[in-house]
Amino acid sequence: MRPDPAAGTVVAGYRIVEQAGSGGMGVVYRAEETGLGGRPVALKLLPAALAGDPDFRARFLREMRVAAAIDHPNIVPIYRAGEDRGLLYLAMRYVHASDLRHVLEAEGRLDPARALAILGQVARALDAAHARGLVHRDVKPGNILLAPPVLDGDPEHVYLVDFGLARSDSDDRSIGGAGSFLGTPRYAAPEQAAGRQVDGRADGYALGCVLYECLTGQAPFPGGSGEAVLLAHLEAPPPRVTTLRPDLPPAIDQVVARAMAKPPADRFPTCRALITAARAALSSPAGSTAPTPGAAAAPAPTPGTPQPQHPVPGPPVGEATPAARGGPPAVHSPPWPAPPAPSSGCPQPLVAGPARPGGRSGGLSAAAATRAAGPGRPGRLDPARPGQRGRQPR
């Protein structure tokens, strides 16, 4: 089959309607299921060169099997993944939504309450994936879809899309191979930038980068080439939110500094812990820093009583205290759950996701929502260009 099928072509039981986006990791089409009323789907077709690589094909099917097993309201569901006449495909719910990247481009920095509402849903999705031993590896505004609320007054519904770069925590042989970089430089954790093995804490680092961008309107390290940005993630200290937003409490600087700590062990244990700490920091009075938990207020000195000459110890510079994190002291041992045992035998040619009754129609997650195919250079996904409601990601 041609790698660029025309409208009307049927691939794996899905009739292509139109192209929705393209990028280094494939092309996304809006398609319809040929049976059961023509359910709309986002159909991602991977490059023929990748489909012809037996190792890549095996890894893709294995890792999509893990992703398809995740049933979470903030993750666009994968219906099926497999191979049809030499083409690797991924079928997902088609979501009618815009993405956070285009919202930031159109509106600039977000109100802190809205930023926390959006990223809180992303954090829940990531923690659910991490609990299954799956690492996203490309958390960025272009992979965060904002759909209309179901009921008036509800917050916008958020979908995390494009698990096309995801890897199983139990498998070193992730898509792209050992020592290679896959992802988006602006949001890459230091260990990811260096081509080392990553776990869920790399997603937490990326979420910290997105939080910074939501609050300030720009990425933590916005300028220069991709190589220069990766070097900044490896060596430069995290930027302070209050440099661009002096109206926000300084405590948020500590939260971002911990989220973007170079050693993974120094970061938040979960993505939800990061958002909880950010919420506490942003609700503290402007001009205050995070207090040390459990510290009682110092009594007023008695006249004539000599005062101690040594400083009262405080939290290390750049480190959020447990109070700022909204929880107990950090545990520096890797908190990630034991990954599921790898499937035995060879991967099956077809992977089916769990049936999900109801739910919003639509969604590309690779699909449009999956913005999954982000245009860009080989070896990384970039955000889609065109954007409007109903637009599909690239």
Q: Which amino acid is at 294?
A: G
Question: Cα separations (Å) of 87 from 5, 21, 59, 78?
Answer: 10, 17, 15, 17
Angle formed at CA 225 by CA 222 and CA 227, multiple of 5 degrees: 105
| Of 24, 30, 31, nearest in space to 46 by CA | 24
Token pair recorded at residue 315: 């939290």
Q: Residue 226 burial by CB count (10 A; 0-12/13-18/19+): exposed, middle or buried?
A: middle
Q: Which amino acid is at 254?
A: Q
The single residue of 99, 138, 199, 203 carrying the catalytic annotation is: 138
The answer to whether 233 touches 190, Cβ cutoff 8 Å, is yes
Angle formed at CA 18 by CA 51 and CA 46, multiple of 5 degrees: 10
Neighbours of 356 (CB within 10 A): 11
Neighbours of 388 (CB within 10 A): 8
Strands in 108-172 per DSSP E: 134-135, 144-147, 157-160, 167-168
- Give alpha helix (H) positions in 155-304: 190-193, 200-216, 226-235, 241-244, 251-259, 271-282
Q: Known catalytic residue: 247? A: no
Counting other chains too, the contacts that 8-16 makes at CB distance below 8 Å and 24 or more residues apart are 10/34, 11/43, 11/45, 11/84, 11/87, 11/89, 12/80, 12/82, 12/84, 12/89, 12/91, 14/41, 14/43, 14/89, 14/91, 16/43
CA 341/CA 344 separation, integer angstroms: 9
Any bridge partners for residue 83, and if so which? 88
Catalytic residue numbers read 138
